[in-house]
Amino acid sequence: MKNLKFLVVGVVFGLALTKGEAASWYRIQEMFQFQSFHMYGIFMTAVPVGALSIFIIRKFNFRTANGQPVIVPTKTYHHGVIFGGLIFGFGWALTGACPGPLYAQIGAGYLVTVATFVAAMIGTWTYVMVQKYLPD
Amino acid sequence: MEILYKPWPWYIAGPIIGLTVPILLLLGNKKLGISSTLRQLCAACYPAKLPFLNYDWKKELWNLYFAAGILIGGFLGGVMFGNPNPVVITGTTTMYLKSFGLTDLSGLMPAEIFNWDALITVKGFIVMIVGGFLVGFGTRYAGGCTSGHGIMGLSALQWPSLLATVSFFAGGILFNHFVLPIVLSL
């Protein structure tokens, strides 16, 4: 039950992805064609809102709901950030979806996206299999 | 009530997406990131003997609840309050897609490509299956996706996430301009 609140946050997030058309294949193609500001506008508002929130959390030492100090995650560099990033970019251009929108599309009734989703799982699984042979 | 069915402008959708970052942190130090659910589902379904998949995935169960929420959000936004009109993309993109025979711009994706029968065509297989594979492979290799690196990582001012996000876009832009036209012409 303690996880139910995350489901609620997910609903709002999924709603924003769908109604904001970030889960739209057309919007993603339009973005890569530099034809519209729409998707860039989403990123350019989401990131500052997130960054400002983190700044405020740090500044006023906000704690989590159960009184813990907030730990802002760090990401360490490895070459996968670039190589994996490019590979994901290719897939993004094909499917018009990143992992979040895949869930949103299935929920929106595009059941064929389940096939894309399973392919993504197989992709993740394959990466884990070949991980040790790739430049990290 | 018509407003409920209209798509949201970027200045509404963007800030709401951004706000999930502090909300998840404040609800229990959770990091926004969706590609990790793919890893979790792999660990749950078929971990084999792979160390990267043999971990206590149930500890991060919240993430699957979050993903289930996105599914419900997709239902609400795409079915219950779905936009009955085709997406309003720019005329140039409309013409561009039309040049590949994509005339029906309703819903979230072109039904001409994304359907079960198309899965066994070369075009459909490349778009849906190869595309999905690359999404799953690439995000795990990069250690995150548009949400984990692009929103969460950038919000936390992590420079590896900036490199990742630039790479996502570089890959997408290159592919969209040089390879996708070939795939769509198949």
Q: Which of A64, A135, A82 is nearest to B31 (CA)?
A: A64
Kindly provide the ipTM of the predicted complex, given to two decimals: 0.96
DSSP designation for B53: G
Considering only the C-alpha atoms of chain A, give the largest distance between any 2 of them, rounded to a whole number of Å. Answer: 46
Which residue of B lies nearest to A8 if distances are taken between CA atoms? B69
Find all residues with CB under 8 Å of A56, minimum gap 6, and list them: A62, B22
pLDDT in tens, A16-73: 999 999 999 999 999 999 999 999 999 999 999 999 999 999 999 999 998 999 999 8
Radius of gyration of chain B from Cα atoms?
Answer: 19
Cβ atoms within 10 Å, residue A30: 25
Mutation site, A98, A111, A126, interface B, largest B CB count within 10 A: A98
Question: Distance, in angstroms, between A130 CA and closest chain B CA?
Answer: 10
Please work out, in degrees rounded to the nearest 5, the angle formed at the alpha carbon of residue A35 by the alpha carbons of B128 and B122: 20
Percent above pLDDT 90 for chain A: 95
Question: Whole-structure pTM over 0.90, yes or no?
Answer: yes
Three-state secondary-structure class, residue A63: strand
Whether B109 and A96 lie within 8 Å, measured CB to CB? yes
Residue B33 main-chain phi, psi, to 5 deg? 175, 120
pLDDT in tens, B110-142: 999 999 999 999 999 999 999 999 999 999 999
Q: Which residue has the tokens 């907030």?
A: A70
pLDDT value at residue A68: 92
Question: Looking at the DSSP assignment, which residues form a beta bridge with residue A63?
Answer: A69
Query: What single letter denotes the amino acid at residue B25?
Result: L
Q: Which of A84, A86, A25, A100 is nearest to B127 (CA)?
A: A25
Cα B173 to Cα A93: distance, rounded to the nearest angstrom: 8
Q: Is the distance from CB of A10 to CB of B32 less than 8 angstroms?
A: no
Whether B172 and A73 lie within 8 Å, measured CB to CB? no
Mutation site, B108, B123, B125, B146, interface A, largest A CB count within 10 A: B108
Residues of A in contact with B108 (CB under 8 A): 18, 21, 23-26, 105, 108, 110
pLDDT in tens, B26-63: 999 999 999 999 999 999 999 988 888 998 888 889 99
